[in-house]
């Protein structure tokens, strides 16, 4: 709930331009935007509530940006193809020493490894409000605002490994799967034969950062934080009956940098 209150407060702040600025002359600028990001997230599941060891991965952002400015203030919407994702590089090991029937201790060792890569592709609508150093939009600027993202798809790869050793034998195995990323559907079932990774269709959050305007170019460097858990509650049936669990807990977050160039400026 507090995340949605923060998002609502941010939307209200974006809409509340100072009355004095509204009376000033309005300048409209539109142009392409190209950028990159480094995204990551903590990732936990109902069977690993302590979480996996995750790593960041890079992505691109490309689309169009507009600026509706008046005085030092500017409203900056954009429409972007934006990539998010993360990696899992995790290992769990268990080692025991057991006294056998002969009275001689024996070492039993097992380890499980997980190496996953996830890529999410979104259509993202950020809506920032910016305060610029100069009334003509040049110089430094501070920006912040909400964003809304629609999942377009994606892909993933998952590699699972297992090693074991006992006083009498040892060995191991590994398996790799890959597939697509899609939005949850009501009939979704966590089947081992289903090579689809499901996540939420919509993501929403806030972002902010520092920019600099020079001529017709605008550089933005910032951070975005997703406020919605992209996992979902799901009913799982076992020997003890059915129970409802949250399949996974993770949020999009990214450091991002982009460059926009105004092709159209009026007046």
CA-based nearest residue to 80, from 21, 123, 32, 130: 123
Per-residue model confidence (pLDDT) at position 46: 83
Contact 57, 87 (CB under 8 A): yes
Instruction: List the strands of the sheet with 43-45, edge to edge.
Output: 48-52, 43-45, 248-249
pTM of the model: 0.83
- Over residues 31-84, the pLDDT tens digits come to 999 999 999 999 998 888 899 999 999 999 999 999 999 999 999 999 999 999
Residue 94: the pLDDT is 77
Task: Please list, in sequence order, all residues whose beta carbon lies within 8 angstroms of the beta carbon of residue 1, skipping any fewer than 6 positions away.
Answer: none
Q: What angle do CA 35, 86, 210 make, to 5 degrees?
A: 35
- Cβ atoms of 39 and 57 within 8 Å: the answer is yes
> Across the chain, what does the average pLDDT equal?
86
Task: Say how far apart CA 193 and CA 201 lie, in whole Å.
Answer: 22
Binning pLDDT at 50, 70 and 90, where does residue 20 land?
very low
Using only C-alpha atoms, the chain has a radius of gyration, in whole angstroms, of 24
230 vs 43: CA distance, rounded Å: 10
Encode pLDDT of 160-172 as tens digits: 998 888 767 778 8
């Amino acid at each position: 709930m507090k995340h949605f209150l923060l998002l609502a407060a941010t939307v209200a702040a974006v809409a509340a331009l100072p009355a004095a600025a509204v009376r000033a002359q309005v300048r409209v600028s539109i142009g392409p935007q190209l950028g990159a990001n480094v995204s990551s997230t903590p990732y936990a599941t109902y069977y690993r509530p302590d979480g996996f060891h995750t790593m960041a991965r890079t992505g691109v952002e490309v689309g169009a940006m507009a600026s509706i400015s008046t005085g030092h203030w500017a409203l900056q919407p954009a429409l972007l193809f934006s990539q998010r994702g993360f990696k899992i590089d995790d290992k769990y090991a268990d080692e025991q020493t057991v006294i056998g029937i002969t009275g001689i201790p024996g070492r039993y060792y097992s380890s499980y490894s997980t190496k996953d890569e996830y890529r999410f592709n979104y259509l993202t609508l950020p809506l920032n409000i910016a305060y610029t150093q100069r009334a003509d939009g040049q110089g430094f600027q501070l920006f912040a605002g909400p964003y809304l993202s629609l999942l377009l798809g994606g892909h993933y790869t998952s590699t699972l490994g297992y090693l074991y050793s006992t006083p009498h034998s040892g060995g191991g195995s590994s398996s790799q799967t890959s597939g697509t990323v899609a939005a949850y559907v009501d009939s979704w079932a966590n089947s081992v034969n289903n090579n689809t990774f499901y996540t939420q269709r919509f993501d929403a959050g806030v972002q902010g950062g520092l920019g600099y305007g020079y001529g017709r170019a605008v550089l933005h460097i910032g951070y975005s934080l997703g406020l919605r858990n992209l996992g979902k509650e799901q009913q799982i049936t076992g020997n003890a009956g059915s129970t409802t669990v949250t399949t996974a807990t993770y949020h999009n977050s990214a450091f991002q940098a982009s460059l926009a160039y105004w092709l159209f400026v009026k007046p």
